[in-house]
């Protein structure tokens, strides 16, 4: 098969995801590359072929293809051995977002060397760390080490009377424990054997009594350089601290304009751009990940200081439905893939 403009495979977890993943990118394929969506089970290692879904002359069909020049990994938490094997077959520098399920503690430790003023203290979960963090900060969050979309996140707060109030998704507590021993036991039952971190709580600026975050989408462009594509906010339901379960998404600028004067809005956005790009530089420098995109979730405190809450190695693209000028969200990964197609494999 001769392909002039590049051949890119989008790796997804299962067959039901192929059409949706591919359809998101087809209309943004300005370079007219060959695009297919395939799954780990469709790979024939011996024959060096894959079975993938593609669209040709307006028709969806399955076909067998040689290994693509570049693989864009949209398979969350994919098997590292599979990704390593793919990299060995097409070139390790030709498979991007090879790691997309990020270790929160590892990321914190790497960023903290350079961005400590923008990071809430984060430690591995155990009894001693949980109690120490609660005593020092009064409000803490328990998060799965490899969690996503707010699943399994708990908030604990020490009241003036000394009670510890614990809840999930909402500030209203589900459990109130009157002594430390009961609190520790309660958290053990919630966490069980899953590795967790404990993170200092940040007093988050709200709009109309609702928590919001700022998601900075950082993507590599057609020159292989990092850029911030946009800042989008998720507004949580009233009484909820979990922005992953949001009532509305919009451009962050629209929210900031309601809260701050124009010069302050620009200063906040510039600071988030700077922190996001610095984060990307550190990830490239401090890890062997090959990321082409990720998102930085930021919260503002009452002084409008930006705090990095966490990174997401597989940005949720559905978030951008209805967002103005969202084309770049889908164009950038293809531009970067085209850049990689033009590079000789290492």
pLDDT at 101: 94
Burial status of residue 156 (CB atoms within 10 A of its CB: 0-12, 13-18, 19 or more): buried
pLDDT at 85: 95
pLDDT at 149: 75
Q: Cα dist. 135→139, 174, 183 in Å?
A: 9, 20, 13
What would be the CATH architecture of the domain defined by 104-118+204-313? 2-Layer Sandwich (3.30)
For 255, residues 6+ apart whose C-beta sits below 8 A from its C-beta are: 207, 212, 233, 235
CATH fold label, 122-200: Dna Ligase; domain 1 (3.30.1490)
For 43, residues 6+ apart whose C-beta sits below 8 A from its C-beta are: 50, 82, 86
- Judged by DSSP in three states, 94 sits in helix
Nearest-CA neighbor of 327 among 230, 226, 214?
230
Tokens of 230: 């946009």
Below-50 pLDDT ranges, the chain = 1-2, 346
Kindly report the pTM of this predicted structure. Answer: 0.94
CATH 3.30.1490: which residues of the chain? 122-200
pLDDT at 113: 94
In the sheet where 306-312 sits, what is the strand order?
A: 246-251, 226-236, 214-220, 293-300, 306-312
For 4, residues 6+ apart whose C-beta sits below 8 A from its C-beta are: none
pLDDT at 3: 65
pLDDT at 150: 80
pLDDT at 78: 81
pLDDT at 209: 95
């Amino acid at each position: 098969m001769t392909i002039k403009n590049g051949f890119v495979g989008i790796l997804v977890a299962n067959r039901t995801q192929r059409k949706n993943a591919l359809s998101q990118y087809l209309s943004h394929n300005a370079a007219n590359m060959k695009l297919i969506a395939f799954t780990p089970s469709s790979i024939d290692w011996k024959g060096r072929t894959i079975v993938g879904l593609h669209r040709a002359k307006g028709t969806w069909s399955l076909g067998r293809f040689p290994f693509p020049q570049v693989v864009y990994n949209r398979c969350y938490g994919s098997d590292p051995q599979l990704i390593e094997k793919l990299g060995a077959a097409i070139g390790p520098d030709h498979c991007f977002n090879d790691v997309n399920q990020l270790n929160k503690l590892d990321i914190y430790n790497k960023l903290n060397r350079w961005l400590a003023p923008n990071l809430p203290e984060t430690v591995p979960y155990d009894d001693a760390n949980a109690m120490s963090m609660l005593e020092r900060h009064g409000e803490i969050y328990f998060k799965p080490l490899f969690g996503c979309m707010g699943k399994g996140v708990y908030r604990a707060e020490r009241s003036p009377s000394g009670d510890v109030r614990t809840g999930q998704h909402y500030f209203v507590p589900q459990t109130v424990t009157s002594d430390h021993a009961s609190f520790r036991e309660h958290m053990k039952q919630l966490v069980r054997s899953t590795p967790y971190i404990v993170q200092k709580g940040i007093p988050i600026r709200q709009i109309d009594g609702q928590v919001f975050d700022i998601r900075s989408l950082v993507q590599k462009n057609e020159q292989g350089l990092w850029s911030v594509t946009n800042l989008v906010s998720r507004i949580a339901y009233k009484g909820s601290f979990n922005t992953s379960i949001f009532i509305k998404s919009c451009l962050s600028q629209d929210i900031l304009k309601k809260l701050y004067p124009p010069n302050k809005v620009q200063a906040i956005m510039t600071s988030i751009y700077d922190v996001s790009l610095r984060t990307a530089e550190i990830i490239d420098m401090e890890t062997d990940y090959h990321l082409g995109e990720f998102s930085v979730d930021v919260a503002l405190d009452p002084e409008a200081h930006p705090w990095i809450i966490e990174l997401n190695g597989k940005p949720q693209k559905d978030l951008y439905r209805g967002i103005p000028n969202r084309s770049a969200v889908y164009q950038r990964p293809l531009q970067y893939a085209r850049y990689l197609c033009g590079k000789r494999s290492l």
